[in-house]
Structure 1
Amino acid sequence: MKKYVVCLSLSFSCFLPSLVAQQVNGISLFPNDSASKPGFWQSKAVRISAVPVGLFAASALTWGERKEIRKFRNRYIPSFRHHYDDYMQYVPAVAVFGLNAAGIKGKHTVKRALVSYAFSAIIMGTTVNTIKYSAKVERPSGDERNSFPSGHTANSFMNATFLHKEYGQYRHPLYGVAGYTMATATAIGRQLNNRHWISDVLAGAGIGILSTELGYLIADKVFKDKGNHPPLRDNPYPINKKPSFLEMRIGFATATSGDLTKKSSDIHAIRGFNMGLEGAWFFHKNIGIGGEFAFTSFPVNDDHLAFSDPDIPTLTDGHYTQPMGIRYLHLGPFFSLPLPNNWFITGKINAGSSLGADGNVILQIKEDYEEFFRTNELPYLRYKPEATFSWSAGAGLQKRIARNLGLKVYASYFDSDHDFSIDQLTEIDLDGKYTYQHVGTERVKFDHFAFGVGLTAFIW
């Protein structure tokens, strides 16, 4: 499960290089637009702010859930201590100047690129520090009150966008892929090292991208047409091509029935969240083949869960059940129906396997008994889900707002039923080792709908 969570998060980097695309080699990406007054979606303001605004919105939406999301880190990777994020944040910017020093020209001369970078850094640094020391949000580690937003993440995404603008838009998209991969790894490292909440890094990423966009906007006003290298090739805006893509999505999940098990008085699903990565190769403009890697987690209301041991109420102040999470790995056909004005209706029908995360029902030990048990929380019941066949279907409404970027609202249905093996704690030895006994199997229905938004990177 550790690998699934980390790999899913790292996959975020695969499509970000296309998010801030506006022009490629000086050629307009919207040749059919009116020269005098471009449409709203083609306006420069939308093109430079769409992704940052989306990240700011995601930061706001996850603010109330940030502690719940942090529980996944504490549950699966509590001892993570690797500070690569302190150094990786600078690599994309170093790469820009290193490539120039090696004679590999970027979109602009070194002088113009340096001025653009300086404006970006000033905007980013001023914004991050002003908010940090005004908001005074406590870090997850509890040692400081300067958590929001993440400065490392803002710096890494500022540098990644710098590399993308100089080389990803000019020479090859893989430069941008590399930069945003390192930026995303930096953001994830800040969370895994328990230095930031998810809302911190989402806001930091938005600030970093927007700072570079504004820095380049100012430099464009200063230099005008000076300092541009000639275009390497034409790259016209694609019309009616096969819409192969990579996409990241996040939203909320609601079970088709609130009762996860037949014991309806014991365990109820609370509205959870859904996130995932999907992609498809289209061999026709309407039909493609692809897959999805998705994860859904349901917090659990177990207020009426009854225990067979009558001494438990005497020993505890209560209990809670860790969220039930399922990962899905599916393959199947994808569909796309182009509409006027760069709108699309999308669909998919996928099937494959699903696997749940192990979890516990944890007793909160009363203070009088903490010394006896040598803990304040005791994993009394343990559940282990079995892998099973699953399928999903979904539809979406998508708007392409740049050459390689689309925004989507989606609705998906996931169908999977899992056998959960239940073990009960029977003994704690002198070394603190737990011994469990199998007490039964419970069928858990994970049929649910997911609704949310997605960011799409088209691969033309």
Structure 2
Amino acid sequence: MLKTIATAILTFCTAYLFGQQDLPDTLPAPKKDFWHSKTVNISLAPAGFFAASALTWNQRGEVRKFRNRYIPTFRHHYDDYLQYLPAVTVFGLNAAGVKGKHTVKRAFVSYAFSAVIMGSIVNTIKYTAKVERPDGSSNNSFPSGHTANSFMNASFLHKEYGQYRNPLYSVGAYAASTATAIGRQMNNRHWISDVLAGAGIGILSTEVGYLIADQVFKDRGARPILHKDPIPVDGKPSFVEMRIGFAVMTSKDLMKHHSDVYATNGFNLGVEGAWFFHRNIGVGAEFAFTSFPINDNNAGFDDPDIPIISTGHYTQPMGVRYLHAGPFFNYPLPRNWFITGKFLAGTSVGAEGNIMLPLREEFQDIFQAKELPYIRYKPERAFGWSSGLGIMKRIGRNLGLKAYTNYFHSKHDFKFDIIHDVDQNGHVSFSDLATEKISFNHITFGLALTAILW
């Protein structure tokens, strides 16, 4: 799950860095409307991260549950140091004689402006919002300062070397900042909404810092352009894309009014890409993950010991990850609008989980745990397919913003086991309970950022 988020954030940043150029000189040349203005160009990626932060606010607890389920004891503080690596790289390259976009003096002033803006925004919000950290240590969780700093530094390296010499500098910079953001979650220091907002603040701070420096220095301290990269008028729109959105269950097996245990609205994260051998048709693949919180308030158990030892029960979220491949479609419309589509098939793998019993305090020492897994469920790997439609607006040379809807279809054999015994060391053993085939069909909808690789 955390790897999916990492890939998604990195893809988002890749789309951003490829989009930092004007639209191509096509025939006829497009008018400089709102979508092509400098304001949109510098604010799109931050706005996307802010929107993603808002979208994940109510789902942040569900994302944290995955962290607590799979890596509850993770404690590695590489993120305390990795956040500075892109900035150190800029000054190190200058010291080594590898010239960037600006002289060291101008680059430093741009960086200083960016740092002051970033620190002011982060600390003002932190001590106004007073959001509790997931580990409960303090009330200054939102937004993530480490993430804001790391993305500010990554944008610094992107502007000085990624835009000027080679985009691989930008890829490396945003890979480091993404690793920092994921580290903040893995170390249980931040919610996903914190790091998404921090990423937006970091990028925005660098953009504004550079705008101020441009007004101060004008053309002084700027080095000559090394190369230009015009794109073909009739390009084939190969792409890499990150998306985030909501998920709604459509299978009766897990819908309210059809079952005592049912899925509530969840979230979907995905990364996809395709190579277009024709301007309208390409082949590619997607990796996606969908998670649904489970409501089991109406579920009852026959075991009379349950209310004695526990204070209730809850079911861990049900999630499925998809690896699908197939044809992608693209149809251009006037004014840089595109209709996109896909029809994919492949494998669907469900995440196993449990119906948990929070134990009463007097029984926690007996079982050497605060909660017990009462019933374990495990969905088997299954064939799945997906389809999707989108409407995309190209707002930069290599950047598109898309509204999408996707449909996922898969049917899994769910194996259910029930608790059999707990030994003196607290280890739980299970016995077979039942096997049931359950459909996991659902619709997702949301926003995507697309890096178009002409």
Instruction: Provide the TM-score with structure 2 as the length reference.
Output: 0.95
Moved more, 252-261 or 394-403: 252-261
* Equivalent residues in 2 for 1:40-439, closer than 5 Å: 40-236=34-230, 238-260=232-254, 264-439=258-433
1:63 partner SS: helix
Deviations 1:18-51 (A, max 9, x none): 4156665xxx545469999820001111111111
Query: What is the rounded CA distance, in whole Å, between the counterparts of 1:455 and 1:6 in structure 2?
Result: 18
1:176 partner SS: helix
Q: CA 1:216–1:35 in 2, change beyond 3 Å: closer, same or farther?
A: farther
Query: What is the rounded CA distance, in whole Å, between the counterparts of 1:335 and 1:22 in structure 2?
Result: 21
Q: CA 1:261–1:113 in 2, change beyond 3 Å: closer, same or farther?
A: closer
1:222 partner SS: helix
- 1:16 is matched with 13
Query: What is the rounded CA distance, in whole Å, between the counterparts of 1:196 and 1:263 in structure 2?
Result: 36
Deviations 1:200-243 (A, max 9, x none): 10110000000000011011111112222111222225533111
Structure 1 residue 65 displacement after superposition: 2.0
Query: What is the rounded CA distance, in whole Å, between the counterparts of 1:238 and 1:135 in structure 2?
Result: 48
Moved more, 308-317 or 74-83: 308-317
Moved more, 52-61 or 321-330: 52-61
Query: What is the rounded CA distance, in whole Å, between the counterparts of 1:60 and 1:7 in structure 2?
Result: 19
Q: Is the 8 A contact 1:425 1:434 kept in 2?
A: yes
Structure 1 residue 260 displacement after superposition: 2.2
Structure 1 residue 294 displacement after superposition: 0.3
2:311 partner SS: strand
Q: Is the 8 A contact 2:240 2:451 kept in 1?
A: yes
Q: CA 1:369–1:23 in 2, change beyond 3 Å: closer, same or farther?
A: closer
Q: CA 1:173–1:18 in 2, change beyond 3 Å: closer, same or farther?
A: farther
Query: What is the rounded CA distance, in whole Å, between the counterparts of 1:424 and 1:82 in structure 2?
Result: 35
Deviations 1:419-444 (A, max 9, x none): 01111101111111111101110111
Query: What is the rounded CA distance, in whole Å, between the counterparts of 2:226 and 2:256 in structure 1?
Result: 64
Q: Is the 8 A contact 2:346 2:383 kept in 1?
A: yes
Structure 1 residue 335 displacement after superposition: 0.9
Query: What is the rounded CA distance, in whole Å, between the counterparts of 1:452 and 1:57 in structure 2?
Result: 11
Query: Unmatched 5+ residue regions in structure 1?
Result: none
Q: Is the 8 A contact 1:133 1:146 kept in 2?
A: yes
2:148 partner SS: helix
Query: What is the rounded CA distance, in whole Å, between the counterparts of 1:113 and 1:21 in structure 2?
Result: 21
Calculate the aligned-residue CA RMSD, in Å. 2.1
Q: Is the 8 A contact 2:369 2:426 kept in 1?
A: no
Structure 1 residue 8 displacement after superposition: 4.7
Query: What is the rounded CA distance, in whole Å, between the counterparts of 1:331 and 1:255 in structure 2?
Result: 22
Q: CA 1:143–1:382 in 2, change beyond 3 Å: closer, same or farther?
A: same
Structure 1 residue 170 displacement after superposition: 1.3
Q: Matched residue pairs, number? A: 454
Query: Unmatched 5+ residue regions in structure 2?
Result: none
Deviations 1:96-119 (A, max 9, x none): 111122222211122211111111
Query: What is the rounded CA distance, in whole Å, between the counterparts of 1:358 and 1:98 in structure 2?
Result: 47
1:219 partner SS: helix
Identity, in percent, stands at 64
Aligned residue identity for 2:415: S
Instruction: Provide the TM-score with structure 1 as the length reference.
Output: 0.94
Query: What is the rounded CA distance, in whole Å, between the counterparts of 1:303 and 1:133 in structure 2?
Result: 37
Query: What is the rounded CA distance, in whole Å, between the counterparts of 1:201 and 1:262 in structure 2?
Result: 33
Q: CA 1:398–1:410 in 2, change beyond 3 Å: closer, same or farther?
A: same
Structure 1 residue 80 displacement after superposition: 1.1
Aligned residue identity for 1:175: Y
Aligned residue identity for 1:178: G
Query: What is the rounded CA distance, in whole Å, between the counterparts of 2:48 and 2:408 in structure 1?
Result: 25
Aligned residue identity for 2:334: P
Q: Is the 8 A contact 2:406 2:443 kept in 1?
A: yes
Deviations 1:401-457 (A, max 9, x none): 111211111111111000011111011111111111011101111011111111111
Query: What is the rounded CA distance, in whole Å, between the counterparts of 2:208 and 2:219 in structure 1?
Result: 17
Structure 1 residue 297 displacement after superposition: 0.8
Query: What is the rounded CA distance, in whole Å, between the counterparts of 1:282 and 1:87 in structure 2?
Result: 40
Structure 1 residue 336 displacement after superposition: 0.8
Query: What is the rounded CA distance, in whole Å, between the counterparts of 2:238 and 2:383 in structure 1?
Result: 27
Q: CA 1:447–1:22 in 2, change beyond 3 Å: closer, same or farther?
A: closer
Q: Is the 8 A contact 1:20 1:51 kept in 2?
A: no
Q: Is the 8 A contact 1:8 1:277 kept in 2?
A: no
Query: What is the rounded CA distance, in whole Å, between the counterparts of 1:76 and 1:130 in structure 2?
Result: 34
Aligned residue identity for 1:6: K
Aligned residue identity for 1:444: I
Structure 1 residue 374 displacement after superposition: 3.3
Aligned residue identity for 1:9: A
Q: CA 1:344–1:203 in 2, change beyond 3 Å: closer, same or farther?
A: same
Query: What is the rounded CA distance, in whole Å, between the counterparts of 1:119 and 1:429 in structure 2?
Result: 61
